[in-house]
A and B are shown apart, each in its own frame.
Chain A
């Protein structure tokens, strides 16, 4: 199956699901799932193929090209997987809400457009698909109206800015090389010198940076992620912002190439070094902001920015291990962040839209499966050993340390320890502690909501114990991008890269666990007690209120809260406010009175005649 077939399936699926929805809701749901699963299968069977062909010759004098290579396949399978899971999750989530047809259409369209982005072989079709994705995403972000509309507007305005920057870069490239096909560009750009690659990359970096929420271009993300419907938040955080990452990798390593990249920028300040440091800042600040959030989805949104920092940092280091770590972390982040957003979505769905962390608690007793999956996702996010997040973070740290960037490594590690705090806060405030009385009879989420969670959890653990499976693919990709390929064994790395053997770790852990459980078995089985029977200095614990959640990290909040306001967002907002004032002023010249306009014309004519007679023109 070629790339063309995949794209036709994806786009036709989006359109048809809308058409089918007009006849029957049930049919549309089944069709949407079939299309998403079909896409996963179609992409899976194209593994290892490399193809490039023109699908629309001579569009505005340019050939539009589709191609399938290792990098494209890797991102395509991630996109289709997460897309498929979010469609399955949506079944119950949007059932009974308004504009279901539109929702499915937009969701499938976003997924199709993202597939288009990763499969396009020239930058023009890349740009076209990019725009389709941006606009479809806007429709979905503002699906809930109200505050969501503001969030969507913020997103789309920043997106347009980014797109303009990208378009500039495209025109610049086209003017110089007369082609936008990636493989041709990569051939020709090698001879480029001076500031040219820098300007192209800066323009691209603006576009991609906005999409992947690199600080200081991140301000759309917390609003958009928290206001979007939860299944789409999973797509948004899991894969949509990864399109920015894909763009960075494509332009930096696919187009500009490693050799040129290392020289871009001033001799004392390279482009990729700046990217590294931006990545480090993007890890640190959002992590500490995430600690202080009370809205579950907003917390996860800030955490997404933080995790993007890891990926950017690893891309910027420009080593084979770093890039492998970045790609692996991209996959991992897609999986565990999708899982966490979907888990929060399940809670939100069952509790009637509550995602305020101070009003939940104790849900482990009612939704154990959701909790178990969220726990695995949270552990993966932290990077606890035996989850896939550990291996990718290990790769990133390893490359930072051996390349001699201990300060960057420090930022990455501190970010991880911050991640523990917000993950624990999220899990604790939602699932642990006392169950409020109003949720005492809550039912577990329906199976169609639990299934995506379980799949994600399974992937995290599987890739954590056997990281060789994804790393064999990633190692190949790194090889195609001009690096030494990373050779990983099935269970980790040999001594030449660094000692890591996750299977041994897993076996040791399992063994010790068994011994402890056996040892524990000597003692009497504990007696289960109700949550009210807890120590309250002899008094009866008040039911449903005896829970510590509000300002969970109060001492830190008092210490750092003052420094952690989103200055960038405030700056943008004030700039937007100022611009609004200026444009309002400009608008005044349109009085709506014909006589004023006649006066303008006469004035202009007078000016022209005057200018002509004076000899200026």
Chain B
């Protein structure tokens, strides 16, 4: 650890700790998950970056969506995302969540995940290799450093918009809004 690091730690321990302790909730939607076991086991060892899988969204701060997102899964993704405590970072893995990928014309697949939940980082590829995950993680570190990985703040600010997008895709949602949507009309007027 150089001196630069130590001053950063002293200045904002929370932020630094978030960088080096990314506990990941892997949302195993599609084929992408096949790349995750090598990432977290002996071959590539994600633990040296502080990245380990956790069992429930309550414990994690990194949300990784690995693969295409069907409409049905989107519901679970939103629910899981909302159950994660703030601050939290979302990384979409593979090209499907970015633009639909090979399912670009499927009636049943969500094409742009960032319309429904905020996404902080993208790892493109079909499939991205495990090394790409590490590139993604180190890139996320830079984003956290520069306070650009602020999807959770965006979600709170623009919750009304996200919620309406979600309702457009899924119909009436059967859970109450996470944040109060009292300023919906205000935002529209702005």
Contacts and interface: CB of A to CB of B under 8 A. Distances in A.
A adjacent to B, CB under 8 Å: yes
Interface of A: 532-533, 535, 537-540
Contacts of A539: 76, 79
Contact of B174 (A535, A537, A538, A540): A540
Nearest to B173: A540
Nearest to B80: A538
Q: Which of A535, A537, A538 has the most CB of B within 10 A?
A: A538
Given A532-B175, A537-B76, A538-B77, 16 more contacts: A533-B83, A533-B175, A535-B56, A535-B57, A535-B58, A535-B83, A538-B27, A538-B75, A538-B76, A538-B79, A538-B80, A539-B76, A539-B79, A540-B79, A540-B174, A540-B175
Interface of B: 27, 56-58, 75-77, 79-80, 83, 174-175
B117 to A, nearest CB: 13
A99 B96 CA distance: 74
A537 B77 CA distance: 10
Main secondary structure of the interface of A (DSSP, over half): loop
Q: Which of B58, B77, B83, B174 has the most CB of A within 10 A?
A: B83
Contacts of B80: 538
B10 to A, nearest CB: 15
Contacts of A540: 79, 174-175
Contacts, number: 19
Nearest to B56: A535
B142 to A, nearest CB: 25
Contacts of A533: 83, 175
Contacts of B174: 540
A538 B27 CA distance: 10
A546 to B, nearest CB: 14
10 contacts: A533-B83, A535-B57, A535-B58, A537-B76, A538-B77, A538-B79, A539-B76, A539-B79, A540-B79, A540-B174
A538 B82 CA distance: 10
Contacts of A532: 175
A262 to B, nearest CB: 59
A533 B79 CA distance: 9
Contacts of B56: 535
A101 to B, nearest CB: 52
B155 to A, nearest CB: 15
Nearest to B78: A538
B70 to A, nearest CB: 13
Contacts of B58: 535
Contacts of B175: 532-533, 540
A535 B80 CA distance: 8
A72 to B, nearest CB: 58
A129 B14 CA distance: 72
Nearest to A536: B79
Contacts of A537: 76
A537 B55 CA distance: 9
Contacts of A535: 56-58, 83
A533 B58 CA distance: 11
A548 to B, nearest CB: 16
Nearest to B81: A538
Nearest to B82: A533
Contacts of B27: 538
A540 B79 CA distance: 8
A540 to B, nearest CB: 6
A5 B153 CA distance: 76
Contacts of B79: 538-540
Q: Which of B27, B57, B77, B79 has the most CB of A within 10 A?
A: B79
A533 B85 CA distance: 13
A540 B83 CA distance: 11
B177 to A, nearest CB: 12
A538 B26 CA distance: 12
Nearest to B79: A538
A373 to B, nearest CB: 30
A543 to B, nearest CB: 10
A20 B113 CA distance: 77
A506 to B, nearest CB: 33
A202 B153 CA distance: 78
Nearest to A539: B76
A540 B80 CA distance: 10
